[in-house]
Homo-oligomer: A and B are copies of this chain.
Amino acid sequence: MSYQPVLIAGEWRAAKAGGSFRAENPATGETLPAEFPISTWADCADVLNAATEAAAILRTAPSEQIAKFLMRFAERIEARKAELVETAHAETALPKSPRLADVELPRTTGQLRQAAAAALEGSWALPAIDTKLNIRSMLAPLGPVLVFGPNNFPFAYNGIAGGDFAAAIAAGNPVIAKAHPCHPNTTRLLAEEALAAVRETNLPPATVQMIYHVAPEDGLKLVADARLGAVGFTGSRAAGLKLKAAADAAGKPAYLEMSSLNPVVILPGALAERGAKIVEEFTGSCLMASGQFCTSPGLTILFAGDEAEQFIAGVKAKMESTLPATLLSSGVARNLAASVKILQAAGAELVTGGSPLAGNRFANTFLRVRGETFLAAPEKLQTEAFGNATLVVLVRDAAEAATVLTHLEGNLTGGIYSDTRGADDALYAQLAPLLRSRVGRFLNDKMPTGVAVTAAMNHGGPFPATGHPGFTAVGIPASLRRFAMLQCFDNVRPHRLPAALQNQNPNGKMWRLIDGNWSQGDVAA
């Protein structure tokens, strides 16, 4: 049997495989021809050893070289755009345009370029200098980073090209990418371009490595391996919690994005003022990418009454008149059906949808539940139904709304819609603090599905949305700080200091905290 080769230590070579798999075309149901290996521990050990060697060199590689790699990689992705878009479309059924070609691919190359700029500038490392005591510190590379990409962004979160990849590389670490088994061909193409860019820029060959799949026990062994620096993971809560436990026990930092319902509270005044507009925004956000975004609104809180019923009727009509799109895989379709069943069993009633359709599709699904019922089974009714399904909780009054909010788990986002004339202000003041502390990004009058790549973004949040509430997976430079250790230099001789901590500012642009003030200048000699 001939499998696709894996990328280890700078070479495409035959995997030491313990099995194989193929991807499927979710739109047609056909199995795609290429056969991909499930690597054994022998491959894992090889990537870890090669990454360890690369890490030692990368630690002191000039930031210009790392930035150049990221920029060349972005250019190479653009040059191969047509093939990448075709391949990702075949493996995910995501629309070629605008989604893959005009949104996700430019976002991916944009992230790589922002990461390059951050690496070049250097301020991400928060260099701090105490001139009187001659103590200096900064964030520094941590070692090989293992990145698990999710199923829902074949480019922008891909283990070999996405946000975690860009952040880990820009922070000076080699990456070991674990492909998502739903889009191995896409991942192979990206890995080919990554390796070519590594060669063009003379980085250590094992700066980027990629394996397609491993047995679950080898995945747990990988994240706990002494040679590893950190783990980046985006995926399901079940898988994330297992990896977290293994990484935690070994003392390895693991940055995991695991689940989110992205609660939205729509206050009565907002519904009265602009209910029809919010119906449009809400339904659009829920059905965007068939609801397969980490920030899709999965739980909405409404105050029971006529306007809430009008809103529900409006969403129902809109959902029923919108053609459901193909889901990312048969697995997503199966899990969605199972999750909707769990919600129903816990007391949620179907407003519309609830059934699988031909071609890995699922009817646009809208469920409702009373606040009282929600509070009787808050865990079950927070089951994430990943895909085009969403639940509305109808609360009786402010007190019940507050109680519902205090039962919410940690989420990536949460938001409140309120009216513009002050009718909702008292309710807002009561509910906002409860929601604020349970989410990473808090919105007003806006649906959560857009995640801008900006320094002020937080794509993170309290457990179990992620593994640590202090970090973000999106937003440069903050996302780089996940893949770093704090290094202090005490009385170290000047010429032995890293460039960022020497008296002279290495590029005249790096922001450094010198004796308590941020400065782009030199340290006075």
A→B interface (CB under 8 Å): 56, 59-60, 128-130, 133, 135-137, 139, 142-143, 244-245, 248-253, 410, 413, 415, 428, 432-433, 436-437, 440-446, 448, 452, 454-458, 460-464, 467-472, 475, 478, 481-482, 484-493, 496, 511, 513, 516-518
Contacts and interface: CB of A to CB of B under 8 A. Distances in A.
A455 B513 contact: yes
A295 to B, nearest CB: 10
A456 B133 contact: yes
Contact of A463 (B128, B136, B252, B437): B252
Contacts of A478: 128, 486
A443 B492 contact: yes
Given A440-B486, A457-B137, A469-B486, A491 B446 contact: yes
A498 B404 CA distance: 24
A415 to B, nearest CB: 8
Copies of this chain per assembly: 2
Contacts of A467: 251
B516 A518 contact: no
Nearest to A468: B253
A503 to B, nearest CB: 14
A216 B249 CA distance: 19
A458 B440 CA distance: 27
B486 A135 contact: no
Contacts of A249: 245, 248
Contact of A444 (B436, B443, B493): B493
A362 to B, nearest CB: 29
A381 to B, nearest CB: 17
B457 A488 contact: yes
A487 B458 contact: yes
A171 to B, nearest CB: 11
Contacts of A250: 463
Contacts of A481: 470
Contacts of A415: 490
A457 B490 CA distance: 8
Nearest to A428: B496
Given A248-B249, A437-B485, A472-B486, 6 more contacts: A130-B456, A440-B486, A441-B488, A444-B491, A444-B496, A462-B485
A130 B488 CA distance: 30
A485 B466 CA distance: 12
Contacts of A445: 491, 493
Interface centre among A245, A442, A469 (most CB of B within 10 A): A469
B433 A56 contact: yes
Interface centre among A56, A137, A445, A472 (most CB of B within 10 A): A137
Nearest to A60: B433
A441 B248 contact: no
A413 B245 CA distance: 27
Interface centre among A488, A493, A516 (most CB of B within 10 A): A488
Given A458-B486, A458-B488, A244 B253 contact: no
Contacts of A468: 253
Contact of A135 (B142, B437, B457, B471): B457
B463 A251 contact: yes
Nearest to A454: B130
Contact of A487 (B440, B446, B455): B440
A135 B442 contact: no
9 contacts: A59-B433, A128-B478, A130-B452, A130-B454, A139-B470, A251-B463, A253-B468, A462-B485, A511-B518
A470 B485 contact: yes
A442 B130 contact: no
Contact of A437 (B143, B490, B492): B143
B488 A442 contact: yes
A354 B493 CA distance: 37
Given A251-B463, A486-B460, A142 B492 contact: no
A485 to B, nearest CB: 4
A270 to B, nearest CB: 12
A490 B461 CA distance: 14
A490 to B, nearest CB: 5
A454 to B, nearest CB: 4
A484 B443 CA distance: 20
B487 A436 contact: yes
Contacts of A487: 436, 440, 442, 458
- By Cβ-Cβ distance, the 3 closest A-B pairs, closest first, are A251-B463, A458-B488, A518-B518
Contacts of A484: 470
A460 to B, nearest CB: 6
